[in-house]
Chains A and B, each alone.
Chain A
Amino acid sequence: MLKIENLHATVGDKPILKGLSLSINAGEIHAIMGPNGAGKSTLSYVLGGRPGYEVTEGSATFEGQDLLDMEPHERAAAGLFLGFQYPVEIPGVSNVQFLREALNAQRKARGQEPLSGGEFLKVAREKAGLLKMDMDMLKRPVNVGFSGGEKKRNEMVQMGIIDPRLAILDETDSGLDIDALRTVGDGINSIMRRPDKAVLLITHYQRLLDYVQPDFVHVLAAGRIVKSGGPELARELEEHGYAEIAA
């Protein structure tokens, strides 16, 4: 589904990714762990097409298409979802209005009919319920006045509504209390654990992986994947720290 080969990327002329390769197949959940500054967020932004993140070498394809050649909205329509580490506040724009327009823009790009207001609200209500988010919050401006945990929950509600093929979740677990962590973990499983979908979890900690069991765990250090393994690798990291493993 996602194939990254020898990816090099710079942010403001500073090289961050230095030859990263990774392959993710449908039905798989991958976790990328690594110390601060390893390039985890840069990887998510490069895959999501954020302006200012420049690929200098290598390739990334999604379902056989050249991902790096696509605009952010085209990546979304192709089925890629980026869960933000710091979800953005957008004053004045209501969650539901924005999500309905975004979803229908994606459907249009895929040649599908738009969802009516009623159909959309039904889906939104269902996904908000799944993530235990009050429907009233969905009517409020995007992330404005939300707590850190509410913002992350809102990201997952958006993911549920948009129903992507591949989700890249950048530190979705940070800022969550224990109960919210479980809710978000359950949400990820229920929305994304399907034979035709895949997830790339980016995290510092083992704890999210207790709820969302990864099939593969990778250690990212200094812009490259230095070690890959099964779920046991995450526990090893937790026990011994990055310094020992990544060395």
Chain B
Amino acid sequence: MTTSALPSRRDEAWRYSDIDAVAAAWPLPAPESIIVPAGGDFRRAIVQDEGAIRQIELVLGKGAVAALHVLNIGGAYGRIELNVILHEGADFHLGAAQIGGGGQNLEIVTTVTHAEPGATSRQVVRSVLGGTATGTYLGKVAVARDAQQTDSEQDVKAMLLDRSATANAKPELEIFADDVKCAHGCAIGELDPMGLYYLQSRGLPPGEAKKLMLQAFVAGVFDGAEDEVQLQELALAKLGELV
């Protein structure tokens, strides 16, 4: 993942990036490295609220568990990049929301490598985009030849508040084992107009009705986070700015 030369949009992992912002931050510091030893348990919430490129390399030892909760909301360009390597029986969970308006460009780029048998990974990503914002999820799950009984899931959904907003989603699988379960689902849509009308008919002003539906859309990604309440509040405040 560590790139020595300034990437361009020809690089798949930077295809939708704000290259000018990347150039301004170049060279990037070395990625943060986190190693969870065998049997360990690691949890972290990451709030990107001012515009930054965060790169994290996460290695889970045998039977280790890690849960990351990400809220990507701030700055003109915010990128969260995760490179995860799972050893035997490890379990990785990502719950992420990115919420952007104006001309924001937000992205979450993950590579999850199931290096050994029996590991599980589950990624749930929700994007809410208004104005001319762009939200991108590029997620690669790589399963090594020996990594039988891999169980992985990518659940990716984006909601566009304006026709001028853009959502990119690319779940990607690279599987060399033959006894694995890898699920991926991806949907991009708009708020249900009949649902909005129903809520308004009961007295909710349009903005409140939208906020309630969007809150429901991103709710769930922070389930189980230690800072769940705080993450929900930050997400809700950001949604309030968009509607």
A and B bound?
yes
Task: Count A-side interface residues using an 8 Å CB cutoff.
Answer: 32
Asked if A87 is at the interface of the complex by the 8 Å CB criterion, the answer is yes
Interface class of chain B by DSSP: helix
Report chain B residues within 8 Å CB of A87.
198
| A75 shortest CB reach to chain B, Å | 8
Asked if A162 is at the interface of the complex by the 8 Å CB criterion, the answer is yes
Asked if B220 is at the interface of the complex by the 8 Å CB criterion, the answer is yes
Encode A91-114 as 1/0 by CB contact (under 8 A) with B: 111000111011101100100000
A82 to B194, CA, bound (A): 14
Nearest A-chain residue to B198, judged by Cβ: A88
Report chain A residues within 8 Å CB of B209.
73
Asked if B216 is at the interface of the complex by the 8 Å CB criterion, the answer is yes
Q: Is the CB of B212 within 8 A of A98?
A: yes
A162 to B197, CA, bound (A): 17
Q: Is the CB of B201 within 8 A of A90?
A: no
Q: Is the CB of A158 within 8 A of B202?
A: yes
Nearest B-chain residue to A88, judged by Cβ: B198
Nearest B-chain residue to A50, judged by Cβ: B197
A93 to B197, CA, bound (A): 14
Asked if A84 is at the interface of the complex by the 8 Å CB criterion, the answer is yes
B-to-A contact residues, CB < 8 Å: 192-195, 197-206, 208-209, 212-213, 215-217, 219-220
Q: A51-B193, A73-B205, A142-B198 are in contact. List 17 more A-B contacts (CB 8 A).
A: A51-B197, A71-B205, A72-B200, A73-B204, A82-B201, A84-B198, A84-B201, A88-B194, A89-B195, A90-B192, A90-B216, A92-B217, A93-B213, A98-B204, A101-B212, A102-B203, A105-B205
- 29 A-B residue pairings within 8 Å (CB atoms): A50-B197, A51-B193, A71-B200, A73-B200, A73-B203, A73-B205, A73-B209, A76-B200, A77-B203, A82-B201, A84-B198, A84-B201, A88-B194, A89-B195, A90-B216, A92-B217, A92-B220, A93-B199, A93-B212, A93-B215, A93-B216, A97-B212, A101-B212, A102-B203, A103-B203, A105-B203, A105-B208, A141-B216, A142-B198
